[in-house]
Amino acid sequence: MSGHSTYEPSIGLTRWLDARLPIIRLLHDAGVSYPVPRNLNYMWTFGGILSMMLAVQIITGIVLAMHYTPEASMAFSSVEHIMRDVNYGWMLRYLHANGASMFFIAVYTHMFRGLYYGSYKAPREVLWILGVIIFLLMMATGFMGYVLPWGQMSFWGATVITNLFSAIPVVGSAVTNWLWGGYSVDNPTLNRFFSLHYLLPFMIAAVVILHIWALHVVGQNNPSGVEVKDFDKDTVPFTPYATVKDGFAIVVFLIFFSWFAFYVPNYLGHPDNYIPANPLVTPAHIVPEWYYLPFYAILRAIPSKLGGVIAMFSAIIVLAFLPWLDTSKVKAATFRPIYRMFFWVFVLVSLGLGYIGSQAPTDGTTLVGRLFTIYYFAHFLVVLPLLGLFEKTKPLPASIADAVLAKNAATGRA
Give the footprint of other proteins on this chain (CB under 8 A). 38-39, 77, 80, 83-84, 90-91, 94, 236, 240-241, 244-245, 247-248, 251-252, 254-255, 258-259, 261-267, 271-272, 274-276, 284, 337, 341, 345, 348, 352, 355, 359-360, 362, 364-365, 367-368, 401, 404-405, 408, 414
- Count CA atoms closer than 13 A to 102's CA, side-chain side: 29
Q: Identify which of residues 190 and 401 has a Cβ nearer to other proteins in the complex.
A: 401
Please report how close the Cβ of residue 52 comes to other proteins at its closest, in angstroms. 13
Residues 6+ apart with CB under 8 A from 56: 95, 99
Please report how close the Cβ of residue 19 comes to other proteins at its closest, in angstroms. 33
Q: Identify which of residues 7 and 343 has a Cβ nearer to other proteins in the complex.
A: 343
What are the phi and psi torsion angles at 288 (to 5°)? -80, 180
Please report how close the Cβ of residue 272 comes to other proteins at its closest, in angstroms. 7
Q: Identify which of residues 27 and 281 has a Cβ nearer to other proteins in the complex.
A: 281
> Of how many residues is the chain composed?
414
Q: 3-state DSSP call for residue 158?
A: helix
Please report how close the Cβ of residue 211 comes to other proteins at its closest, in angstroms. 25
Please report how close the Cβ of residue 236 comes to other proteins at its closest, in angstroms. 6
Please report how close the Cβ of residue 119 comes to other proteins at its closest, in angstroms. 19
Q: Are 332 and 117 in contact (CB under 8 A)?
A: yes
- Beta pairing, strands 35-37 & 235-237: antiparallel
Q: Identify which of residues 282 and 408 has a Cβ nearer to other proteins in the complex.
A: 408
Q: Identify which of residues 187 and 359 has a Cβ nearer to other proteins in the complex.
A: 359
Q: Are 249 and 41 in contact (CB under 8 A)?
A: no
H/E stretch holding 36 reads strand 35-37
Q: Identify which of residues 95 and 147 has a Cβ nearer to other proteins in the complex.
A: 95
CA nearest 290: which of 117, 157, 127? 157
- Distance (Å, rounded) from C-alpha 44 to C-alpha 282? 43
